[in-house]
Amino acid sequence: MASGRGSRSGADADADRGEPDDRLLLERLRAGDERAFDELVRTAGGRMLALARRMLPREEDARDCVQEAFLHAFRSLDRFDGRSRLTTWLHRIAVNACLMRLRSQRRRPEQSLDALLPRFRGDGHQERDTTPWKPPQESGIEREEVRDLVRARIRELPEQYRVVLLLRDIEGLDTDETAAMLGTTAAAIKTRLHRARQALRSLLEPHFTEGSL
C-alpha cells in the first residue's frame, strides 16, 4: 500500500526515541516559559508559514492561519500526547487551520480539470503521443526558476486537487490521514492525487519538452 512512508514514519520514529529536546521544550511551555513560546514560533513557524503560503493564495491569510495555529496549540498543550514530534503536531494544526480558511472562503464552483487530463482511446493508449521531456541538465532553466515555475503551476490547480497534492506529495501525509482531514475516502484521495499529478504534468510539459525555451 503506497502510504505511511517518508516523513510520517520519520516523525513517529523520533517520538519513539523520546526526543529530549521536545520533552524539555514541552515542560517549559507548560510551565509558561515566555522564551520557550518564542523559541517554538521561530523554529517551527517557518515551515508552517511555507505550508500556509502553498495552500492559501493570500499572504495575509497564510500569516493569519499560522497565528491561529500557534494560539490553538498553546491553548491545547495539555492535550498533546507526545506520540509525534511537537513540530509534527503543530504542522497538523496548521494544515487544519488552512483547510478551515479555504472552506470559509469557498464561493465559486470548482473549475474543471478535464482540459489538463490525458485522453485515452478505446485500446487504452493515449490519444496523443507523449513527447519525452528533456533531461534536467538540458532544460536550460536554473533550479530556483524551476521551483518558482512549479509553485506557480501548483497554484493554478483547482483547490480540491491542489490541496491533495500539497498534503500527500509535499507535506508527506499518508492517504488515510489526508482522507480524514478532508472528510472523504481514501479512494477519493487516490483519484484526486492522480488527477492532480496528471494536471500538473500537463501544465509543466510546455517548459520541459523539445522546442521549449
Partner 1 sequence: MDYVDGALSAEQRSEFDRHLKACPSCVAYLDSYRRTVALGKDAASDPASSAVPEELVEAIRRARRQ
Member of 66, 90, 93, 189 binding partner 1 (CB under 8 A): 66
Report in angstroms how near the CB of residue 32 gets to partner 1 at its nearest: 10
According to DSSP, the residues that pair with 133 across neighbouring strands are: 209
Does the CA dihedral 115-117-118-122 come out positive or negative? negative
CA distances from 206 to 153, 161, 202 (A): 12, 21, 8
Minimum CB separation from partner 1 for residue 119, in Å?
Answer: 12
Rounded CA gap, 34 and 189, in Å? 40
CA distance 95 to 55: 9
Q: Taking contact as CB under 8 A, which single stretch among the options 19-27, 84-92, 94-102, 144-152 is the one that binds partner 1?
A: 144-152
With binding defined as CB under 8 A, does residue 141 bind partner 1? no
- Can you tell me the distance from the alpha carbon of 98 to that of 104, in angstroms, rounded to the nearest whole number? 10
- Catalog residues that contact partner 1 under the rule CB under 8 A: 1-2, 37-38, 41-42, 45-47, 49-50, 53-54, 63, 66-67, 70-71, 74, 118, 125-126, 129-133, 136, 143-144, 146-147, 150-151, 154, 165, 169-170, 190, 193-194, 197-198, 200-201, 204-205, 208
